[in-house]
Amino acid sequence: MVPFLIRRVGLMLLTALCLTFIVFWLTNLPPNLEKLAKTQGTVRMTDAQTASWLETRGYARPLPVKYAEWLGLIPAWTYEDSYGNAAGRCIGDGIAPEDAPRRCGVLQGDWGQSSVFREPVSEIIGKRLWLTGKLMFWVLLVMVPSALLIGVLAGMREGSRLDRTLSTFSIATTATPEYVSGVILIAVFASSAVGLKWFNGTATGAMEDATFANFTLPVATIALFGMGYVARMTRAAMAEVMTAQYIRTARLKGLSFGAIVWKHALRNALIAPFTVIMLQIPWLLNGVVIVETLFNYKGFGWTLVQAASNNDVSLLLGCSVVAVVVVLLTQLISDVGYVLLNPRIRIA
């Protein structure tokens, strides 16, 4: 088990390294840097001014060097202008040039400064990830049990009226994009159009204090969309298990239908959906952006969009590291859980 975990963590680091390098390269392409300079400086900068802006801020140097600096492998750049004002990667607000460390990169725990929010990247990501994490937690709590329940109920008697009803429902929810279902939900439950006004149409308040009223609609919107997919997978797995010979064995042992489903079919039917559920988590992390925008809930997805549209190099890099860690961590949990569910697989 331990060597397996070590290998997995190593793989995770390697993937993060590759992915951040690609993001680094893309964000450091000349047109992107020019755009950065013009948004941070003024739009009316001449080409020469742009070049000098990039020069004085350390952008106009070779890519591998900049990347190594970001990682914290080599000493950071410094610049001294003609007036003797020192600038540098590690020299920022409140840090005098003399006190600045030589290296300041990811390895030193410094994720850099966001150019959009003018805040350290680690603080922004920490705050936004917590907000999205809160949303995801409630979504998973609603989505997974109901999806499994729908899937199992539909799959245990394939072709029955219950199966057809539940299948239609899950196909319909998956086929409806979040921006449609979200708008419908707002119209029905939060506007004067129908007049129910049970919930709030915005979740801004939920960022501080999540309540039933302001958090139900965003959670429901994502849960509905994700649920159908998991439910379909569960249904297929369950239907297949129910035709297996060992289910016939159980039936001909004299077990009641409930006991067959509960004791014999369930564990075998959960193996396939488990992987799918774990794959849903990274999707939730990035895919919630529509719902976050719709309900004005400033989470991780919203941050990612802000970073991308403003070519905020440091923030984008931070976001991609988080994404890699989440994807590989959920895959690790999925593999370990797979072993626990399926006794035929053992970790060496």
The conformation of residue 120, written as its DSSP 8-state character, comes to: B
Compute how many other C-beta atoms are within 10 angstroms of the C-beta atom of residue 317.
24
- Least distance to other proteins, CB of residue 3, Å: 8
Q: Which is nearer to other proteins, 160 or 211 (CB)?
A: 160
Q: Does 245 bind other proteins (CB under 8 A)?
A: yes
Tokens of 247: 């289910």
Q: Does 344 bind other proteins (CB under 8 A)?
A: yes
Q: 3-state DSSP call for residue 86?
A: strand
The H-assigned helical ranges of the chain are: 2-27, 30-40, 47-56, 63-71, 121-156, 161-175, 178-189, 204-208, 212-242, 245-252, 257-259, 266-269, 271-287, 289-294, 300-309, 313-341
Q: Does 141 bind other proteins (CB under 8 A)?
A: no
Tokens of 348: 């060496």
Q: Does 164 bind other proteins (CB under 8 A)?
A: no
Q: Which is nearer to other proteins, 187 or 272 (CB)?
A: 272
Please, what is the end-to-end C-alpha distance for the chain in angstroms? 6
Q: Does 264 bind other proteins (CB under 8 A)?
A: yes
Q: Does 145 bind other proteins (CB under 8 A)?
A: no
- What track of x and - describes contact with other proteins for positions 4 through 33 (by CB under 8 A)? x-----------------------------
Tell me the one-letter amino acid at 2.
Answer: V
Number of residues counted as binding other proteins (CB under 8 A): 27
Q: Does 175 bind other proteins (CB under 8 A)?
A: no
Tell which one of 85, 165, 256, 309 touches other proteins (CB under 8 A). 256
Tell which one of 132, 221, 234, 268 touches other proteins (CB under 8 A). 268
Tell me the one-letter amino acid at 138.
Answer: W
Applying CB under 8 A, the residues found at the interface with other proteins are: 4, 159, 244-246, 248-256, 259, 263-264, 267-268, 341-348
